[in-house]
Structure 1
Amino acid sequence: MPFCRKQVAISFAPSHCLKAWQDGLLDPLNDILARWLLLLGMVDALKEKVYVDIYKELEELVMKDENLQEALTVWENMS
């Protein structure tokens, strides 16, 4: 069966991302994937919590990443 016909599931655990960031294991300044993981992990819907410290770091990083800036702007407009 061709790859495009297979179902791909991706698991994302925001708590692991948050812990890695707090432990200094993520480098969002130089790693685009780390930036997007932080964006995804910034809101914990189950706890109804927004991690303000992550939001502040992402605000600083938008100067380097136009796509991240657009995503944060859309998120702010939806909130």
Structure 2
Amino acid sequence: MPRISSKVDKDEHLVKVGAAIRARRKATGVSQEALADYAGVDRSHMGKIERGERNVTLLNLVRIAEAMDCKPSDVLSEAGL
């Protein structure tokens, strides 16, 4: 398996997780900037996560899920993983 680059990681799984995060965020009416702030993630990094361009770490997934008042498993389930 090739090593994931630190530049653009764009992978099917990352795209699905990012789309699930974006869909849940939009459903709750929270801006990307507010979610990033609540989760302690840089806003530009949050955008890259939502677009599937960055490999979201477990810790960031936990922080993002907590900021959206759900479990990381909810996000993964919504992503079909």
On whether the aligned pair clears a TM of 0.5, the verdict is no
Instruction: Tell me: higher relative CO, structure 1 or 2? Use CA pairs within 8 A at least 6 residues apart.
Output: 2
Q: Which has the higher strand share?
A: 1
Structure whose CA Rg is larger: 1
- TM-score of the superposed pair, with normalisation by structure 1: 0.28
- TM-score of the superposed pair, with normalisation by structure 2: 0.28
